[in-house]
Amino acid sequence: MYKVAVRWQVRRGLRRLNAGDPAPQLRAYASDAVLVFPGVSRWSGRYEGRDAIAGFLGFFTEQRMQLTADDILVNGPPWRTRVVVTGRVMATGSDGMTVYCNRAAMYAQARWGKITYQEDYEDTHRSERYDDYLKCEAVAGEE
């Protein structure tokens, strides 16, 4: 039953994040949680604490990115839970065309329902190209 509850919580957090409300997802993190996004892109780095993670999630809501979960794997007891989510990340431009589409994998460790550590993985070459797109959009908006 615990695994079902964790999967429900993950899907709920993604639904709200996709709707532009990161609060439910943010509440899923422990106050001292660490989120790591390896690679080279505007969101790469190590985010320590809920405030830093809020900034990370803010980028996704600002860009109206949509995250979908294909698989949610849960293992371990409530005091040492591991979760792996595989899925896709997409963003559309102002014209409604898809400007970013990437496969993603997330690994998290949780304790008593709170994420304590998380790593997110994407194809960073695609992430870099999306960064380039955003820079071009910013320049075009200034003209």
List, for residues 45-87, the tens digit of each pLDDT value.
999 999 999 999 988 888 888 999 999 999 999 999 999 999 9
Number of domains in the chain: 1
Look-up of token digits 């790593």: 119
The residue with greater pLDDT, 124 or 98, is 98
Q: How far apart are CA 116 and CA 98, in angstroms?
A: 33
- The CATH code of the domain that includes 87 is 3.10.450.50
Whole-number percent of the chain with pLDDT over 90: 61
Backbone angles phi, psi at 42, to 5 degrees: -65, -25
> What is the pLDDT averaged over residues 27-38?
96
* Three-state secondary structure call for residue 79: coil
The residue with greater pLDDT, 25 or 92, is 25
127 pLDDT higher than 80: no
Residue 121 maps to a domain: yes
Residue 143 maps to a domain: no
pTM for the whole thing?
0.84
pLDDT of residue 32: 97
pLDDT of residue 131: 60
Q: 129 is in which domain, residue-wise?
A: 2-138
